[in-house]
Amino acid sequence: GAVVSQHPSRVICKSGTSVKIECRSLDFQATTMFWYRQFPKQSLMLMATSNEGSKATYEQGVEKDKFLINHASLTLSTLTVTSAHPEDSSFYICSVPGPGLLYNEQFFGPGTRLTVL
Amino acid sequence: DQQVKQNSPSLSVQEGRISILNCDYTNSMFDYFLWYKKYPAEGPTFLISISSIKDKNEDGRFTVFLNKSAKHLSLHIVPSQPGDSAVYFCAASLITQGGSEKLVFGKGTKLTVNP
């Protein structure tokens, strides 16, 4: 399966600062990447779909000005949590669709644990 | 509105026995279903999937059953092994109007296989 990396794996920051999370597809180029957020004992919630060369598509209720997504290249997407607050503390995971069929599985990164103090 | 539901937050079974994880969904537009396995502090890993036009898919010790009329699917693991202990997420795939695929996840079921 595809290898997807995320950096950093864990970050602790003060309220009001911005945090950037990188997601890299190491095995193949990805025109689309997905960003999820998971709160404790909750399901993974899709935040946005990152599209290389165009704007990200955000899910309903996700603030695009707060969660900035940049799909800089076919192997890199970044999520920036701007002016982070304690309620933004969560586990952020990116995924890359498998190559080939449209209904193929997604390959997930290891996740980034964000703690905002 | 929870479109994909996993009503059992946890399940405990003995090694060698069968584990059955259940998932219910409400949206009849879902056309593909997937099971993911997740260890703490890691991203989910794909386990097995099934198309909505099938009722069963088997891969080694893992079998997924789909009952479309009941909007219910289940993952069977037999025989269960201690290494299967993890959180299992049921996910359903939806093709959006824009033509992209979207996965909707359940809350997960924590499986513990006791030696």
Q: How confident is the model at residue A40 (pLDDT cuts 50, 70, 90)?
A: confident
User: Which residue in B95, B92, B94, B96 sits closest to B106, CA to CA?
Assistant: B92
Mean pLDDT on A74-90: 95
Asked if B104 has any chain A CB less than 8 Å from its own CB, the reply is yes
3-state DSSP call for residue B84?
Answer: helix
Digit-coded pLDDT (tens) for B11-29? 999 999 999 999 999 999 8
Can you give the length of chain B in residues? 115
Tokens of B20: 């059955």
- Cα separation of B50 and B54, whole Å? 7
Q: Is the predicted pLDDT of residue A12 greater than 80, yes or no?
A: yes
Q: Which residues of A touch B41 (CB under 8 A)?
A: 9, 110-111, 113
Tokens at A7, concatenated: 């950096």
Q: Is the CB of B89 less than 8 angstroms away from the CB of A95?
A: no
Contact between chains at B98 and A57 (C-beta distance less than 8 A): yes
Band the pLDDT of B97: cuts 50, 70, 90: low
Q: What is the pLDDT, as a whole number, of residue B76? A: 98
Across all residues in chain A, what is the average pLDDT? 89
A77 interfacial to chain B (CB closer than 8 Å): no
pLDDT reported for residue B41: 76
- Using an 8 Å CB-CB cutoff, list chain B residues near A71: none
For residue range B46-90, what is the model confidence (pLDDT) as tens digits?
Answer: 899 999 999 999 999 999 999 999 999 999 999 999 999 999 999
- A43 and B93 within 8 Å at the Cβ level: the answer is no
- Determine the pLDDT at residue B1: 63
Q: What is the pLDDT of residue A102?
A: 47
Residue A59, pLDDT > 50, answer: yes
- Is residue A43 less than 8 Å (CB to CB) from chain B? yes
Q: Is B98 on the interface with A (CB under 8 A)?
A: yes
| CB-based contacts of B109, cutoff 8 Å, min separation 6 | B6, B8, B9, B10, B11, B21, B22, B87, B88
